[in-house]
Amino acid sequence: MAAPALLATLAPAKAATRAKPPRLRAGDTIGLIEPASASSEPFDITLVEEAMVAMGLKPKRGKHVLDRHGYLGGQDKDRAADVTAMFADPEVRAIMCVRGGWGSARLLPFVDWEVVRANPKMLIGFSDITALHMAIAAKGGAYTIHGPNGSSAWGKSSLESFKAVAFDGAMPLYKNPVASDDRLVQRRFRTQKLTGGKAQGRLLGGNLTVLTALAGTQYMPDFTGAILFLEDIDEAEYRIDRMLTQLGQAGVLSKLAGVVFGQCTNCRDPDGSGPGGGFTLSALLEQHIGSLGVPAYQGAWFGHIADQFSLPVGALAEIDADAGTLRLLESAVV
């Protein structure tokens, strides 16, 4: 009789009702947390605070920011306590993750999810922060923002995309920038269609490695009818193959309405699994995603790059794979 209960525990979480968080306004307080890896030195946090001030916000450090436990930004329970405290703090309007790395998944069992659900707020970040985005989606928290971490460069394009979603409540069309190269045809910043067409669905996704590691846990949301977006860094082709295979066999890919694969930075095996030695990334995406028969494209402008889109996790969007665009169909904030 124990087996069915175990299976129920490991099954992906069903879709939960999600609230929209409040938009940011000049003068708002934004909480700073380090749920993953530790920052190298205090000046790293100073730079993040200065970036928040430059946006017109008032930064507030979590109690355990600048803690260190091995390569992590403090003990798991302490990092989780900072997450819970920032959601509970009435002064804090939104929460910015300082950096990624590794460790966000370790703190998930220690977060007070009732507090998270009761206090809708934007949580902002990417890479390892995918674990928090997915857990909040699975647990019925508010929409979150897959965008730059606090320690990111915050170039003009990143800042404009973030402000449009988080401050203005806009419904932008996400389309790659046009390169200024002196070439007969554009080569940089290009998207590539895997399967044409349009579809609508909730945006769910983030870092491929982190998301795949949540499969089979209570922190994996239901992807039925979703538009899955993915990115990664420093992953050889065979590992991408392995992770996409796992998502397919876990039943995630077959549920999707569409797929957008962003940037995969330095995703090539130096030992020869690239062109001439094995499958390319494009070939793998064609095998695992192009075969789904849903609108899909690759090369969108998000991931481990200097500037990137801010994508609201949980918001309704439309994919146009022929045009290589995403368009929000609702504001992500109130």
**Torsion angles phi and psi, residue 163, rounded to 5:** -65, -35
H or E segment at 267? Answer: none
Q: How far is CA 279 from CA 187, 255, 268, 274, 275, in A?
A: 22, 25, 10, 6, 7
Residue 105, Cβ density class (10 Å: 0-12 exposed, 13-18 middle, ≥19 buried)? buried
Does residue 237 have an active-site annotation?
Answer: no
The one catalytic residue in 231, 235, 237, 318 is 231
The one catalytic residue in 161, 304, 310, 318 is 304
Q: Could you tell me where the beta strands, DSSP code E, fall in the chain?
A: 29-33, 58-61, 92-97, 122-125, 144-146, 173-175, 192-195, 198-207, 227-233, 258-265, 296-298, 311-313, 316-320, 325-328
Task: Specify whether the CB–CB gap between 145 and 123 falls below 8 A.
Answer: yes
The one catalytic residue in 104, 127, 151, 273 is 127
How is residue 302 written in tokens? 């998000």
Q: How far is CA 108 from CA 46, 77, 158, 230, 303, in A?
A: 27, 9, 28, 21, 23
299/324 Cα distance (integer angstroms):
8
Alpha-carbon dihedral sign for residues 117, 302, 176, 291: negative
Angle 183-187-193 from CA coordinates, rounded to 5°: 140
Q: What is the CA radius of gyration of the chain?
A: 19
Angle 124-129-135 from CA coordinates, rounded to 5°: 95
Does residue 146 have an active-site annotation?
Answer: no
Beta-strand relationship, 192-195 and 29-33? unpaired
Does residue 64 have an active-site annotation?
Answer: no
Active-site residues: which are they?
127, 231, 304
